Amino acid sequence: MDRMIRNFLDYLAIEKGLAHNTIISYRSDLCFYRDFCQKTKINPLAENGRNGVAAYLSRMKRDGLSAATAARRLSSLRTFYSFLINEEITVIDPTENMEVSKRTERLPRILSKIEVERLLDFPVLSTAIQQRDKAMLELLYATGARVSEIINLNQGSINLEEGYVRCIGKGSKERIIPIGPVAIFFVRTYLKKSRLELLGNRDTQLLFLNRYGKGISRQSFWKTIKKYALVNGIKKTITPHTLRHSFASHLLENGADLRSVQELLGHSDISTTQIYTHLTHNRLRKVYDKAHPRA
């Protein structure tokens, strides 16, 4: 089982070119299944493998895992067995026609426009770290990029004269995102002095650096966002995607079309973007009340 998983992960990395974090997620999901098979003495390649997958789904439900987590793990198993069939390791897909009970769609948490203003309010920008944090947060909200995309930006990825940034997203897909004058100003301010101060005598093309002149981890940036939210009195739970969700919702509230937002976010399927339309109900209600003759 371990060897099959390793070969599968190599396939995802080399043949499919999936992102490192995506491959880690696949590894985690498949290791849970491997451990379950070992404990229950189930052969994952046996002809009655469907019974094993069904038992695995039942175990996840008994363990209290959310429907979303169970659905993701089942999806990982589907991809894994598809690989095994293509490699002629097995002819049976035990996940075929298997379904997880329908999950309740959770709306993403967002910040209001006022809360975003408070999060981005830096009363003091006297240190290199503060100027870096300001530039990063402004750029994150200006682009709706993922945190992982922001921390992996190189200096050549951003064009301040033309006002755009080039992001490499999931599956190594590239997209060009425009940025506004506020983000441009603070990134340019950071580049003029603070980045040079953080860089010292080291050599890297990464745009945003930590105090040691190296790249910033995703966890470190998440802690940074949470720190400024707490300092500015924002009590909502902050996740690495909070500003990305807020970016999308605020664009739609202000009249942006769904296809454009899909392009900016880098979603391959517009159904992923449509979740944000639920967040604009209040705006639609106001438009209806104002415009409909019998409202």
pLDDT of residue 238: 86
pLDDT of residue 163: 94
Domains along the sequence of the chain with CATH: 2-86 (1.10.150), 113-286 (1.10.443.10)
Residue 86 neighbours by CB distance under 10 Å: 9
pLDDT of residue 68: 80
Say if residues 225 and 240 touch (Cβ distance below 8 Å).
yes
Tens of pLDDT, residue by residue over 184-200, are 999 999 999 999 999 99
pLDDT of residue 145: 94
The contacts of residue 40 (CB under 8 Å, 6+ apart) are 52, 55
pLDDT of residue 123: 79
The alpha carbon of 268 is separated from its chain's Cα centroid by a whole number of angstroms, namely 13
pLDDT of residue 47: 74
DSSP string, the chain: -HHHHHHHHHHHHHTS---HHHHHHHHHHHHHHHHHHHHHT--TTSTTHHHHHHHHHHHHHHTT--HHHHHHHHHHHHHHHHHHHHTTS-S--TTTT--PPPPPPPPPP---HHHHHHHT--S---SHHHHHHHHHHHHHHHH---HHHHHT-BGGGEETTTTEEEEE-GGG-EEEEE--HHHHHHHHHIIIIIHHHHHTT----BSS--TTSSPPPHHHHHHHHHHHHHHTT--SPP-TTHHHHHHHHHHHHTT--HHHHHHHHT-SSHHHHGGGGGGGHHHHHHHHHHH-TT-
pLDDT of residue 289: 75
Q: Which parts of the chain register pLDDT below 50? A: none
Long-range contacts of 173-181 (CB under 8 A, 24+ apart): 173/266, 173/268, 175/263, 175/264, 175/266, 177/143, 177/144, 177/145, 177/264, 179/139, 179/142, 179/143, 180/142
Which residues have a catalytic role annotated?
Answer: 146, 170, 241, 244, 267, 276
pLDDT of residue 225: 92
Which residues make beta-bridge pairs with 168? Answer: 174
d(CA 257, CA 264): 11
| Burial bucket for residue 141 (CB in 10 Å: 0-12, 13-18, 19+) | buried
The alpha carbon of 189 is separated from its chain's Cα centroid by a whole number of angstroms, namely 27
